[in-house]
Structure 1
């Protein structure tokens, strides 16, 4: 049975899992979850993820939630060369640093700003944009001397960071001040197997 990803098309967290499976060339099925209709709060879905969030991965008897955990699992299970999630301790820690940034500053910055404009979330939009500016400034500096966030080759850190940064303009966060980030996005989009996330014409992307 193919891997199943319970997902929502406008979710950057869902896109991380879909993108990585496509980059790995692993067959999978997307199972749309009707968030607007409350499908993520049904007993059936809560049995998969008690937090009621997408994505959820089903791989045989293995059921996992949390997009970064899913990326780690997929890398360790379906990438025998260990290029996407290196095993050497320092290299692995450097990947983990950026997974934490994706779960923290990216979530509270560009992802939160987009939640306001795309979904009407009652969040502090100005604060989210300020956080976005700070983290994107740091990332742009880090990328100025390297092709990908941890070095010459892409890892799951790049996959984790990509979706909400690429769609930051939808949350009224401009990428124009960050040439290294824009070049990095283009490099990810040129990888074999890349699949885009569904765009929303709001904010600066309207």
Structure 2
């Protein structure tokens, strides 16, 4: 059977893009990557895929999907139903959703914003606020990883994928991970997953 056409639009230095790219690799799903810098995202063609002009966008067999966390949920449900990636039970699903919300909240405005401010452009998030949010979420992760190896349960889930890139690359934004040994051990476990692909530093 011919594989459905999959195209991932994004940039390789985007943690949001990386979480989708990583999941595609972990699921062993063939895909084409299309680099989509800011100028491309203003084009009518890209706006036809995502009117907000944001990355990533995944085209999967004629379907265009935006929002990295939504894409993770889609991929888990379509290509790994019944797996640990997205639990079916209410408690497991709620635990995953909690971390997806943190990825879009404290992590996005904490470690992610600090990295973008330091490396690319001013996000508008004050440095002090980004540092506070980073300390809050890293402290939470450090505490909860004392009880288990993965963020939302006993196995790897899309919660781990959603949080990984911006936590692992937090030092690029001046946020040190030295005080969080459990977080650093979790990063190492993520990087040891079969099929893992790194997000480049440059």
Output one character per residue of 1:93-138: Cα deviation in whole Å (capped at 9) or x when no partner: 1110100000100001000001101112153122211210111111
CA contact (8 A) 2:112 2:166 kept: yes
Aligned to 2:128: 126
- 1:28 shift after superposition: 1.0
Q: How does 1:24-173 map to 2 (within 5 A)?
A: 24-35=27-38, 38-123=39-124, 124-173=126-175
- 1:150 shift after superposition: 1.5
User: In 1, Cα distance between the equivalents of 2:81 and 2:99?
Assistant: 22
Alpha carbons of 1:27 and 1:46: their partners in 2 closer, same or farther (altered >3 Å)?
A: same
Output one character per residue of 1:145-185: Cα deviation in whole Å (capped at 9) or x when no partner: 21100122100000000010000000000011100100000
User: In 2, Cα distance between the equivalents of 1:92 and 1:127?
Assistant: 30
SS in 2 for 1:177: coil
Aligned residue-pair number: 198
User: In 2, Cα distance between the equivalents of 1:127 and 1:109?
Assistant: 7
Partner residue of 1:10 out of 13, 24, 35: 13
User: In 2, Cα distance between the equivalents of 1:120 and 1:6?
Assistant: 21
SS in 2 for 1:47: helix
User: In 1, Cα distance between the equivalents of 2:123 and 2:154?
Assistant: 39
Aligned to 1:204: none
User: In 2, Cα distance between the equivalents of 1:10 and 1:177?
Assistant: 25
CA contact (8 A) 2:113 2:123 kept: no
Aligned to 2:25: 22
CA contact (8 A) 2:92 2:153 kept: no
Aligned to 1:203: none
User: In 2, Cα distance between the equivalents of 1:14 and 1:122?
Assistant: 18
Q: Give the superposed CA RMSD.
A: 1.0
Unaligned stretches of 5+ residues in structure 1: 201-206
